[in-house]
Amino acid sequence: MVAENPRVFTIDEAGRRIVAANLVVAGAVLLAMMLLGLTMRLGQSGWLEVPPARFYQIMTVHGTGMIGIAALGGITVMWYFLSQYVRLSTHILTANLLLFLIGVVIILTADFIGGFAAGWTILFPLPTHGAVWPAEAAFWHLLGLMLVGAGLLLVALDFGRALIARYGSLGRSHGWPQLFGLSNDPLPPPTVIAGTMVTIVTTLTVIGGASIMVPMMINALNPAFTINPLLAKNVIYFFGHSLANVTIYMAVVVIYELLPLFAGRPYKASRIFVAGWTGSTIMVLIIFPHHLFMDFAMPQWASGMAQVLSFTNSFPAMLVTGFGALALVHRSGIQWSLVSGLLFLSLFGWLAGIVPAVIDATIVVNSVMHNTLWVPGHFHFYMLLGVIPMILAFMLYLTRDRLGRSPEKDSDMWALIVYLGAGLGFVLVFLYSGRHSVPRRWAVHWPEWMVYDRFASVFAALVILAAAFFIVRFLIGLRHFLSGR
């Protein structure tokens, strides 16, 4: 009943090239988006003059870009490890990268030249009735998003094809027959179970996204065609929340695959593991109404369900991955290195990031905290200290830091400490500002709030330096990875 992780990962030359290309793009876009984030915080702190219209364009690009690179980096991590168990297509991963790049160019043009600035959440009718930017800019921004989504859909479908070819159905690759006592076969490996969840959620998410973005594009071209704003908001958050959330489920396999190498123990799939991931598959798709607590027209049952599910959705992550990883590491004599340190940091970022999220998903708290900086605090916790370190750990593992091949230097560990300290400081300033009712999505802050913004700017600059250090190290070592050594 136990599936063990492979000790050696193999990949052919075409696979190495496309994985490297994806990670180079993800690293470059990550740094660019971090610099845009710093620009916003500097603007709010009064240290840099950022015109409000430009601020909101930057905010839109920053949010869209960060979700985009989390998805690109996460799906690359998943592709690499899933390809150890099933046969995946490099052509499809290449098509995804091309669609991503075309989509990014269109989005950047629509936002910085067209002036689109409705935020990454594109909530209807703001994108087409912003009055500040032409409707064509909204049309092109939405088209860019559709292309990025189409690329992700292709990869998800390829995952599904490969999983069905190997296991017979997604139910089997998810471990459902074993979970419900219908089979005594060994469970699929953790990465296969996670890959199945990602396949299901990504496919449904992209269907939802396309279903609402096309009507919004029609609305941009013909304002006489309108859609119900509440329905649009529901579908947008079904798409947006689920997609943002699934990025961590893509990237988390790096913990299942690499942590055992450092700890010298296998990461075991069990029926509890399958149950946890099954719960996540369902809950990730239906907890999105916790973004709509402030919409008075939402049915009460939907809000109540979203609150309860937001609480329970954290249990699978905490119990299965968190507790599982701690048990794996405890008294294992783990080899601490940059990669294992980043992996452990990402685990902390994910699990600790859940706490402010759950607090905000409580209706009575949400009614006073939702439009404050508490909310960026929660998702930066989750992204900056959870998803991004997972992707960075993967990059460094591939290029330099394989076991026994690259002795650690002091500078490596300093970069890790700076990333952790400054990253934690950055998100805590967000949360602290939220606690003091500093609103989010305001280009200009009152002088009383600027002290928070200045601390945040310093922390952000330090985080960017540490991230740049990791990415430069990755780029330096890329030659070794590409040569297959």
Q: DSSP string of 372-406?
A: BTHHHHHHHHHIIIIIHHHHHHHHHHHHT--TTTS
CB of 88 to another protein, least distance (A): 7
Selected binder of another protein within 171, 229, 421, 425 (CB under 8 A): 171
Backbone φ and ψ for 293, nearest 5 degrees, come out as: -60, -30
- 346-382: b or e for each residue (b if 16 or more CB lie within 10 Å)? bbbbbbbbbebbbbbbebeebeebbbbbbbbbbbbbb
Strand, coil or helix: 439: strand
Task: Specify the residue, 17 or 54, whose C-beta has the smaller distance to another protein.
Answer: 17
In the complex with another protein, which residue's Cβ is closer, 239 or 293?
239
How far apart CA 201 and CA 405 sit, in angstroms, is 37
- 14 scored as a contact of another protein (CB under 8 A): yes
Core vs surface per residue 326-338: b (16+ CB within 10 A) or e: eebbeeeebeebb
Binding mask 301-340 for another protein (x = CB under 8 A): ----------------------------------------
Binding piece for another protein, criterion CB under 8 A, among 9-17, 25-33, 326-334, 413-421: 9-17
5 near another protein (CB under 8 A)? no
CB of 320 to another protein, least distance (A): 21
Considering only residues 38 to 97 of the shown chain, the ones binding another protein according to CB under 8 A are 80, 83-92
**Please, what's the b/e burial string for 273-305 (b: 16 or more CB within 10 A of its CB; e: otherwise)?**
bbbbbbbbbebbbebbbbbbbeeeebeeebbee
Contact between residue 146 and residue 216 where contact means Cβ atoms under 8 Å apart: no
Most distant pair of Cα atoms in the chain: their distance: 66
Tell whether residue 267 is a contact of another protein (CB under 8 A): no
11/427 with CB nearer another protein:
11
Supply the DSSP symbol for 446. -
Q: Is 263 an interacting residue with respect to another protein (CB under 8 A)? A: no
Alpha-carbon distance of 210 to 139, in angstroms, equals 13
Are 393 and 258 in contact, with CB atoms under 8 Å apart?
Answer: yes
Q: How many residues bind another protein (CB under 8 A)?
A: 49
DSSP code for 113 = I
Closest to another protein by CB, 109 vs 226, is 226
Of the two residues 12 and 435, which places its CB atom closer to another protein in the complex? 12
3-class secondary structure, 125: coil
Asked if 10 touches another protein (CB under 8 A), the answer is yes
Q: Which of residues 198-237 bind another protein (CB under 8 A)?
A: 203, 206-208, 210-211, 214-215, 218, 224-228, 231
> Could you give phi then psi for residue 439, rounded to 5 degrees?
-75, 155
In angstroms, the CA 99 to CA 95 distance is: 6
Closer to another protein by Cβ: residue 51 or 484: 484
6 binds another protein, rule: CB under 8 A: yes
Q: How far apart are CA 352 and CA 347, in angstroms?
A: 8
Nearer to another protein, 226 or 335 (CB): 226
* Least distance CB 237 / another protein (angstroms): 16
Encoded tokens for 56: 């909101």
Least gap, CB of 480 to another protein (angstroms): 17
Beta carbons within 10 angstroms of residue 479's beta carbon: 11
Which of the residues 150 through 169 are near another protein (CB under 8 A)? 153-154, 157-158, 160-162, 164-169
Give 59 or 138: the residue with its C-beta nearer to another protein.
138
Candidates 3-11, 241-249, 293-301, 319-327; binding stretch for another protein (CB under 8 A):
3-11
Nearer to another protein, 105 or 214 (CB): 214
User: What are the residues binding another protein (CB under 8 A)?
Assistant: 6, 9-12, 14-15, 80, 83-92, 153-154, 157-158, 160-162, 164-172, 203, 206-208, 210-211, 214-215, 218, 224-228, 231
